[in-house]
Amino acid sequence: MKKSLLSVAVALTLSTNAVHAADLLFAPGEDARFSWSSYDALKSVNLSGETVSVFGPWMGDEKTNFERVIAYFEKATGAKVNYAGSDSFEQQIVIDAQAGSAPNISVFPQPGLAADLAAKGFISPLSDTVKNAVVKDYAAGQSWVDLATFKNQKGQDDFYGVFYRADLKSLVWYSPDNFADAGYEVPETMEDLKALTEQIVADGGTPWCIGLGSGAATGWPATDWVEDLLLRTQPASVYDGWVTNDIKFDDPRIVGAIEEFGWFARNDKFVDGGAGAVSSTDFRDSPKGLFQSPPKCYLHRQASFIPAFFPEGTKLGLDADFFYFPSYASKDLGNPVLGAGTLMSITNDSKGARAFIDFIRSPIAHELWMAQTGFLSAHLGANPELYSSEAAKKQGEILRYATTFRFDGSDLMPGKIGAGSFWTGMVDYTGGKDAKEVARDIQKTWDALK
């Protein structure tokens, strides 16, 4: 009897869960801020009886948020979408592709792995229609197309995916109260930022908190600095050549970007604890100086995730805020943005897979996650008023005004460089080693790989 009652209880639970899963988080047509027209357009695609499998790195809350987006595709088209998330995605997708059991759609957290699979014929190229739409619909659209363009099996360029969720690195964090007390204003150009740095010293303060410590990964925050500064001192084509080593690491233009980082990090007066503390300070601890009284620093350059390491109770927009890591007014290189993103590609072609890609590049697919949490979009058609917080809206605006977007360079390099000699080289550089010598040593490592 107990077994029978338990079975009934389980059945009721599963039934209730199924009903909730079928519910749409935002009722179509009711909130005029959403682009419901792009949802209605999906209804012309009949995928009844078809299943689309999607595999990616999102788990936990991210998986839940994504599945809430997927529900709209299912409702409009009649398709069934099965999403599976794994913290071993990078390894498993290679195994599945080689075994001929890849999902219809794969969600790549960085494009390097997608490029490897495309070269082996495991990813289906997308149409010119999709490519042209990305150029038109995304801020810095050509940048996003370039990031998803890889060599095919014949060594020819093809377009392989649509970026869906973006991450932003080109940010400087500060305390509005400390700025107000000192009479400082948010700088709009790199020239202004450098002038502010010198002004803070003249006023008896310390401008920057910088920490490179990260256990076995110590040094990686400096690579972000160099990448951002290279985009602000050289055209994007130089950046692109650098990450492939067509432009050598010891090229004067790359050395110059390293030295630009040194302007900030190797001056004892500019950094909390002096230049010698930069490599030994943990990156998770370095922003805490912003919130001490008196402040140990006024500025901290780091990606959008860093508030997770702010003191408990810190309120964004009140206790802490951020601004765009600015470009040089004198160099006329636009507004470059450094970041990352997830790439949706077809690894097992089908009508449903093609329709799902079309859905993912539509405004509604972006808005549905924007209105939840933890999502930034470069889609110009997505309504920024739907962001779940003012901080997310402000970061989204930085993406929208970007003229160039580039992926984290170290993530695109071979592991022994981007997660090896580049990291250690930056630690050596902040410790006093000459930039040219550091760059030559990194290039020697790259040459050895060839």
Give the tens place of pLDDT for each residue, 98-134: 999 999 999 999 898 999 999 999 999 999 999 999 9
Q: What pLDDT does residue 12 have?
A: 36
State the alpha helices, DSSP H only, in 203-286. Answer: 220-233, 236-244, 252-265
Q: What pLDDT does residue 408 have?
A: 94
Please report, in angstroms and rounded to a whole number, the separation of the first and last CA atoms in the chain.
Answer: 70
pLDDT at residue 15 greater than cutoff 90: no
**Average pLDDT, integer, range 24-36:** 96
Q: What pLDDT does residue 110 have?
A: 83
Give the tens place of pLDDT for each residue, 335-389: 999 999 999 999 999 999 999 999 999 999 999 999 999 999 999 999 999 999 9
pLDDT at residue 400 greater than cutoff 90: yes
Mean pLDDT of the chain: 94
Per-residue tokens: 258: 């390293």
pLDDT at residue 11 greater than cutoff 50: no
Per-residue tokens: 142: 């050509």
pLDDT at residue 287 greater than cutoff 90: yes
Give the tens place of pLDDT for each residue, 224-256: 999 999 999 999 999 999 999 999 999 999 999
Percent of the chain at pLDDT above 70?
Answer: 95
Tell me which residue of 349, 313, 327 sits closest to 53, measured CA to CA. 349
Q: What pLDDT does residue 269 have?
A: 98
pLDDT at residue 270 greater than cutoff 50: yes
Percent of the chain at pLDDT above 90?
Answer: 93
258 in Cβ contact with 223 (< 8 Å): no
**Average pLDDT, integer, range 4-33:** 57
Q: What pLDDT does residue 23 have?
A: 81
pLDDT at residue 16 greater than cutoff 90: no
**Average pLDDT, integer, range 283-312:** 96
The dihedral over CA atoms of 115, 119, 121, 122, expressed in degrees to the nearest 10, equals -30
**Average pLDDT, integer, range 215-232:** 97
pLDDT at residue 220 greater than cutoff 90: yes
pLDDT at residue 13 greater than cutoff 50: no
pLDDT at residue 17 greater than cutoff 50: no
Q: What pLDDT does residue 97 have?
A: 97
Hey, which residues does 386 pair with through a beta bridge?
none
Which H or E run includes 268? Answer: none
**Average pLDDT, integer, range 66-88:** 97
